[in-house]
Amino acid sequence: MSVEESILSIITKNVINDYYTAGIKTEVVIDTLITPVIVDIVAGQLKGSNNLKYITKEFPLVKEAVKDKLEKMKQKKNETEENKSKKASYSNTKADYILSDDKFIYIVELKTSSDSINDEQINAYANYINRISGSGSGSDEMLEEFTAVFNKYSSSGIKDDEFLENYKNPEKQEQYKLTEIIAKVEKKNNNSQKTSSKKYYKQATQIKDNGLEKWEGKGVKLIYIIPHEEKVLKDKIIEKLGEEKVSFVYLDKIGGVSGKDNDESKEDDTVSEEDRKQYYDWVRKSILKPIFNKSDPKQSQV
């Protein structure tokens, strides 16, 4: 056995053991392992999708409309302008992955246990998708809200109130696009930024590098990746979101051939196509199949 094979054997054994150990959140480990082939996994079961691409992961889904924040800030009449900006809140939840195709931006949620899907989470996704889709193109709204979050937690030098005053102003908005905020951050010393700022910067540049055109004028849908097909759970989610806004991928039905031949926007573009296919085959056979082709969905540990 080669060194590489020995390492893979150790990883496989420990991931599977941890999955069946109470209290260990192996969903995080599985998330990391499937990220390089998430497009393959989803494309194999997503019907009617063309040119599926990876954009980023851990994307912030802002709970409250960014466009309403300026008015709330102005209502704090007894505070200084500086404090108003500092008090702006961008409370959010994180989407596991963001993918796109010719028609949609996909919010992808990975669940290694159906037990961890609850009404609160389903309602949160339904409220978010309905909110951003209400003003036209949900994808454009998503990117604008991400830019607001990135600006707040970066060293761009632009205060929240300035950003919110201008990002939708036709005469000024070009100065407040994601590319411009990134450029302002890059002019400063990134080494002096907080860790959270560096993480948002990495994500912002990844979104830019994977193609801002992918965000233009598209609808938004949710994809739930879950262990098994369960009618009761599926019907509950569809009831909240509507059948046209949600799709499902089942971990026990991952195919033997990768669902995507090429994805130039994948997480790691230094990996060859052949290596990626071999890696996909290892993830499917050594991790996903041993766990999800045998387990009862109620026994899964998250």
- Predicted confidence at residue 39, as pLDDT, reads 95
Residue 253 in contact with residue 231, Cβ under 8 Å? no
- Predicted confidence at residue 189, as pLDDT, reads 64
Per-residue pLDDT of 240-257, as tens digits, reads 999 999 999 999 999 876
- Predicted confidence at residue 299, as pLDDT, reads 42
- Predicted confidence at residue 287, as pLDDT, reads 94
Where the chain has pLDDT below 70, the residues are: 73-89, 135-136, 189-193, 257-270, 294-302
Q: Which residue has the tokens 């739930």?
A: 224
CB atoms within 10 A of CB 82: 10
Helix pair 231-241, 119-133: axis angle to 10 deg? 30
User: What is the DSSP secondary-structure string of 143-211?
Assistant: HHHHHHHHHHHSS----HHHHHHHTT-TTTGGGGSHHHHHHHHHTS-GGGS-HHHHHHHHHHHHHHHTT
d(CA 140, CA 108): 18
**Rounded to 5 degrees, what are φ and ψ at 109?**
-115, 120
d(CA 100, CA 221): 10
- The strand order across the sheet containing 53-62 reads 53-62, 92-100, 104-110, 219-226, 246-250
Which among 13, 153, 24 is positioned nearest to 88, based on CA atoms? 153
- Predicted confidence at residue 301, as pLDDT, reads 41
